């Protein structure tokens, strides 16, 4: 099930959005965290705000890594010796 469909053009009318839907369903769930970050570093800057919103609805890693919330994953905070709530 995909969330945030309202951000994309209806299926069959935009090849770019159809490819994004297919990627989110068939490929992205099988990426580990590092693979996902690599994908977002290469692709996310070229995405429209609507495509980024769609990704944010369907992938928690995007929200952790992305510009939307600017949240640092808890693991990284622990490695740096920081408590969960401080910068």
DSSP per-residue letters across the chain:
--S-GGGSPPTTS-HHHHHHHHHHHHTGGG--HHHHHHHHHHHGGGS-HHHHHHHHHH-HHHHHHSTTT-PPPHHHHHHTT--TT--
pLDDT digits (tens, 9 = 90+) for 30-78: 988 788 888 888 888 899 999 999 998 998 778 766 554 444 555 555 5
Output the pLDDT for position 71: 46
Other Cβ atoms closer than 10 A to 86:
6
């Amino acid at each position: 099930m995909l969330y945030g469909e309202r951000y994309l053009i209806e299926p069959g009318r935009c090849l770019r959005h159809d490819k994004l839907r297919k990627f989110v369903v068939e490929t992205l769930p099988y990426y580990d965290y590092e693979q996902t970050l690599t994908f977002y570093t290469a692709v996310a800057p070229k995405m429209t705000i609507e495509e980024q919103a769609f990704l944010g609805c369907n992938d928690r890693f995007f929200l952790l890594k992305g510009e939307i919330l600017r949240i640092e994953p808890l693991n990284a905070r622990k490695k740096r010796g920081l408590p969960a709530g401080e910068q």
